[in-house]
């Protein structure tokens, strides 16, 4: 599991069985893939309905077999648009409870609000864990400067690498002996880290306050690496991105981008903005609460490219922007240059 010392922590039953439902789009299974990639030791395997065409590559189990192999909960590993439980999942979720597993969900809808699941859990003494539930008493943001250092990953769109970039940067900083914590703001990051605040479930007036709570005063040389959400240019989720930007008060931003994407995912007709515009807008708006904010570089998702094409793409963007550009999953010298730039102004 990822090292963390979050102000909001969870204790969840492990190991996990990852539920893929009847999903056919890998992009909607980012919770399952995130846990596979960043909390592999906590995952027994996966379970999917016959209609699903998505796989994490982990061993396939039924809930009964997973329980006998040591699993103690089943995590809903998919997150379709809207965050609602699908009626087609309910029999499988009920079967997991009957097999002895608790259920863990990062959906907007509460597990207990589904009568079948609530009644089954109560009858069997199972627990229903909803991680997309913000803590009570989140304050309105103060805008007060805080000690310590902060980095926020921002993006040109949703679901293109902000979480993976933040996790990678936190890991690289710790490898250099720098005190750094990954701060989770989404359901997958919370499951990986063991705590955090689901920013998109916070009432709008308190989003910036939640970000302040998540990255409190710290030692002068300590870094909080905050997982970004959405994009300032997103037609639906820009408000969450702005509140997170103001509340985090980042010393540094790293912009995340998928070069293969030309329109905002799920919103035809809304083009992906130019990186120059994204950098300028985040610095302008972020400067409201952190006057010295700067951009350390760009994280590119080159997962759809060959190694040669990816390296050419990284060089092209770096030359164009005059900033370090790296794919944190590929790593290498490009990532080292990006980490140097993160620390360069510290």
Segments making up each domain of the chain, as ranges: 16-130, 149-344
What's the confidence (pLDDT) of residue 10? 75
**Cβ contacts of 261 within 8 Å, gap of 6 or more:** 156, 157, 160, 272
pTM value is: 0.93
Confidence of residue 345 (pLDDT cuts 50, 70, 90): low
Confidence of residue 80 (pLDDT cuts 50, 70, 90): confident
What's the confidence (pLDDT) of residue 81? 67
Confidence of residue 108 (pLDDT cuts 50, 70, 90): confident
Q: Taking the CB of residue 273, how many other CB atoms lie within 10 A of it?
A: 19
pLDDT exceeds cutoff 80 at 346: no
CATH code reported for the domain at 149-344: 3.40.50.300
What's the confidence (pLDDT) of residue 84? 79
What's the confidence (pLDDT) of residue 79? 84
What's the confidence (pLDDT) of residue 6? 44
Whole-angstrom Cα distance, residue 70 to residue 15?
A: 7
Instruction: Give the chain's mean pLDDT.
Output: 94
Whole-angstrom Cα distance, residue 180 to residue 198?
A: 20
Is residue 76 within 8 Å of 104, Cβ to Cβ?
Answer: yes
Strands (E), the chain: 16-21, 43-48, 73-76, 102-105, 128-130, 149-155, 180-183, 223-226, 252-257, 294-300, 325-326
pLDDT exceeds cutoff 50 at 70: yes
pLDDT digits (tens, 9 = 90+) for 20-48: 999 999 988 999 999 999 999 999 999 99
Same topology between domain 16-130 and domain 149-344:
yes
What's the confidence (pLDDT) of residue 82? 64
Confidence of residue 1 (pLDDT cuts 50, 70, 90): very low
pLDDT digits (tens, 9 = 90+) for 207-219: 999 999 999 999 9
Is residue 195 within 8 Å of 37, Cβ to Cβ?
Answer: no
H-type alpha helices, 287-324: 307-321
What's the confidence (pLDDT) of residue 147? 98
Average pLDDT over residues 131-150: 95
Whole-angstrom Cα distance, residue 332 to residue 81?
A: 35
Radius of gyration of the chain (CA): 20
Confidence of residue 73 (pLDDT cuts 50, 70, 90): very high
pLDDT digits (tens, 9 = 90+) for 295-328: 999 999 999 999 999 999 999 999 999 999 999 9
Whole-angstrom Cα distance, residue 316 to residue 318?
A: 6
Decide which of 3.40.50.720, 1.20.1260.10, 3.30.230.10, 2.40.110.10 is the CATH code for 16-130: 3.40.50.720
Of 20, 105, 27, 34, the C-alpha closest to 266 is: 27
The kind and range of the H/E element at 275 are helix 275-286
pLDDT digits (tens, 9 = 90+) for 253-267: 999 999 999 999 989
């Amino acid at each position: 599991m990822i090292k963390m010392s979050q102000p909001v922590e969870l204790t969840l039953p492990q190991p996990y069985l990852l539920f893929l439902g009847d999903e056919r789009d890998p992009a909607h299974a980012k919770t399952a893939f995130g846990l596979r990639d960043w909390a592999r030791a906590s995952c027994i395997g996966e379970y999917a309905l016959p209609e699903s065409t998505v796989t994490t590559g982990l061993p396939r189990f039924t809930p009964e077999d997973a329980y006998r192999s040591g699993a103690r909960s089943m995590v809903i590993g998919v997150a379709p648009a809207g965050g609602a439980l699908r009626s087609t999942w309910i029999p499988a979720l009920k079967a997991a409870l009957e097999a002895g597993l608790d259920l863990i969900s990062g959906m907007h809808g509460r597990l207990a609000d589904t009568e079948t699941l609530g009644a089954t859990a109560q009858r069997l003494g199972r627990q229903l864990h909803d991680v997309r539930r913000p803590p009570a008493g989140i304050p309105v943001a103060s805008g007060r400067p805080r000690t310590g250092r902060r980095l926020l990953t921002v993006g040109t769109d949703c679901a293109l690498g902000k979480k993976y970039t933040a996790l990678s940067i936190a890991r690289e900083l710790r490898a250099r002996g720098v005190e750094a914590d990954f701060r989770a703001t989404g359901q997958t990051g919370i499951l990986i880290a063991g705590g955090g605040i689901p920013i998109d479930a916070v009432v709008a007036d308190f989003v910036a306050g939640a970000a302040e709570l998540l990255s409190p005063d710290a030692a002068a040389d300590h870094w909080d690496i905050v997982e970004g959400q959405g994009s300032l240019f997103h037609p639906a989720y820009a408000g969450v991105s702005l509140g997170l930007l103001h509340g985090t008060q980042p010393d540094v931003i790293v912009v995340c981008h998928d070069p293969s994407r030309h329109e905002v995912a799920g919103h035809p007709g809304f083009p992906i903005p130019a990186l120059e515009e994204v950098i300028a807008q985040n610095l302008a708006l972020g400067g409201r609460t952190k006057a010295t904010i700067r951009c350390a570089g760009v994280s590119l998702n080159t997962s759809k490219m060959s190694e040669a094409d990816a390296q050419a793409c990284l060089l092209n963007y770096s030359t164009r922007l005059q900033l370090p550009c790296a794919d944190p999953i590929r790593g290498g010298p490009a990532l080292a240059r990006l980490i140097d730039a993160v620390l360069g102004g510290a």
